[in-house]
Amino acid sequence: MADTQSMPGDGTAPIGGDACKTSTPDSNLCPSPENRAEPLVRETALSQYPVRVLILFNQPVLPLDHPLKESEHEVEFIVEHTRKTLQSAGMTVESLGVGRDPLILVRELQDRKPEVVFNLFEGLGDAGGTESTAAGILEWLEIPFTGCPSPALSVARDKISSKRLLAGAGLPVAGFLCLHDQRVPACPFDWPVIVKPAGQDASVGIDHNSVVSGQESLVRRVDHVLREHGGPVLVEEYLPGREFSVVVIERAGDGLVNLPAFEIRFEREGPGVWPIFTYDAKWEVDSEDFHNTPLDIPADIDEDMHRKLGRIAREAFEVLGCRDYARVDFRLDGLGEPRILELNPNPDLSPEACLASTLEECGPVSHEQFLVDLVKRAHQRGGTSRTVHSVIPRANPNPSLPSTDQI
């Protein structure tokens, strides 16, 4: 799922996105090895793994003048970087963009017969639920692919269902209310609250008007979200503390590993401005929000908080059935305790996004080696996802007893 901010660079990087905007080029270095539980050993050269890979991505479908076009087009830049990286590891790489016709995906998979699909399909720009549909097709055809399986992609996009699952597992989430129409009950939370589309990601539908401080403004905002994005609508307790994110990855031999938390800082001030990560802050490079939300990698917090955020993130990863990599977003409540805002499966793999930057600053491998390792893991686990094995009928040596296919 697209979720971070890509920084403008030499003309090859996209404008906007989920890029890592650090406060200074050399600030917030990783904790020294003696402060880590185990020293990290970095691999330097890309390991070679000669397999046939197909990079699957969502073909942009929104008009060029659409306000959400930036979040959709970034995938094209990621595809090109991924292709070059995998080729450097000895892989034969093709790419396939799929738009509104899913039959193209089925036909191309059957014709090309890739050994692994590198899944960058984030859902169509106006039909985000197709993200899990594409993964489901890969599972049906028993083709190994990178990233999270279809159930995790589906439930994570549904913010309300995912919050219920996380809360049911005993993990801390912000209090929330689900609304399906304009009938807005009296708000059960203290003011202010924040209003979000429940089925969107990448901060779509989030701006400074999303935070409301009274019942009348709540009713107006719910109506706005229903008209612009459809239902359901998530009304969430506003948490006043600092905002952090934790990337969780799976590593051969290490199992589930969380990278150090990074912090999103909100420096813009003024009337009507709230310290929240808006759509503009992620995607609109010319906006004030974009230039006033630097990221600190790693976050300047004590080891106890790093451990707590990491533990909760790993548990959330497992509760929602994620695989390979995901990102968990947190905010501190009024008592300074972390609460989960959401989990993002398959977060942005741009070389300038936060996952890549956190790997480069503090990870056990480079971002490029991580991409190669994703292919290795998918290839080695295979594509079979059957829950019941087929039974092959055998000749019945005793005709007086029913055969196995009659039981």
**Tell me: the pLDDT tens digits for 329-347?**
999 999 999 999 999 999 9
Above 80 in pLDDT, residue 30? no
CA distance 203 to 71: 10
| Sign of the dihedral through C-alpha 22, 24, 25, 26 | negative
Determine the pLDDT at residue 21.
59
Determine the pLDDT at residue 41.
44
Q: pTM for the full model?
A: 0.84
More confident residue, 388 or 265: 265
pLDDT band of residue 129 (cuts 50, 70, 90) is confident
Average pLDDT over residues 80-98: 97
Q: Which H helix or E strand runs over 371?
A: helix 367-381
**Tell me: the pLDDT tens digits for 267-286?**
999 999 999 999 888 878 88
CA distance 194 to 217: 11
Q: Are 329 and 344 in contact (CB under 8 A)?
A: yes
The position carrying tokens 């913010």 is 159
Average pLDDT over residues 117-137: 93
**Omega cis (within 30) before 298:** yes
Determine the pLDDT at residue 125.
82
Determine the pLDDT at residue 385.
63
Q: Are 375 and 51 in contact (CB under 8 A)?
A: yes
* Alpha-carbon distances, residue 288 vs 21, 269, 283, 294, 342 (angstroms): 13, 10, 11, 12, 25
Average pLDDT over residues 376-390: 80
Determine the pLDDT at residue 107.
97
Strands 116-120 and 176-179: unpaired
Above 60 in pLDDT, residue 91? yes
Domain boundaries, the chain: 33-173+239-381, 176-236
Above 70 in pLDDT, residue 351? yes
| Sign of the dihedral through C-alpha 238, 240, 245, 246 | negative
Strands 92-98 and 255-258: unpaired
Q: Residue 169 corresponds to which tokens in the numbers above?
A: 């597992």
CA distance 348 to 344: 9
- Report the topology of domain 176-236: Dna Ligase; domain 1 (3.30.1490)
Q: Are 260 and 358 in contact (CB under 8 A)?
A: yes
Q: Are 49 and 37 in contact (CB under 8 A)?
A: no
pLDDT band of residue 29 (cuts 50, 70, 90) is very low
Determine the pLDDT at residue 392.
53
CA distance 354 to 363: 12
**Omega cis (within 30) before 192:** yes
More confident residue, 407 or 277: 277
* Alpha-carbon distances, residue 184 vs 175, 211, 263, 366 (angstroms): 16, 16, 33, 48
* Partners of 342 in beta bridges: 329
> Which residue from 40, 25, 27 is spatially nearest to 365, judged by alpha carbons?
40
Strand 193-197: give its sheet, edge to edge: 176-179, 233-237, 193-197, 211-212
List the Cα angle 42/44/46 in 5-degree steps. 120
Question: How many percent of the chain have pLDDT more than 90?
Answer: 69
**Omega cis (within 30) before 232:** yes
Which option is the CATH number for 33-173+239-381: 3.30.300.30, 2.40.70.10, 3.40.190.10, 3.30.470.20? 3.30.470.20
pLDDT band of residue 12 (cuts 50, 70, 90) is very low
Burial class (CB in 10 A: 0-12, 13-18, 19+), 88: middle
Q: What mean pLDDT value characterizes the chain?
A: 86
> Which residue from 114, 77, 74 is spatially nearest to 92, judged by alpha carbons?
114
Between 89-98, 373-382, 397-406, the lowest mean confidence (pLDDT) is in 397-406
Determine the pLDDT at residue 149.
98
More confident residue, 400 or 157: 157
Burial class (CB in 10 A: 0-12, 13-18, 19+), 318: exposed
Average pLDDT over residues 28-45: 42
Above 80 in pLDDT, residue 137? yes
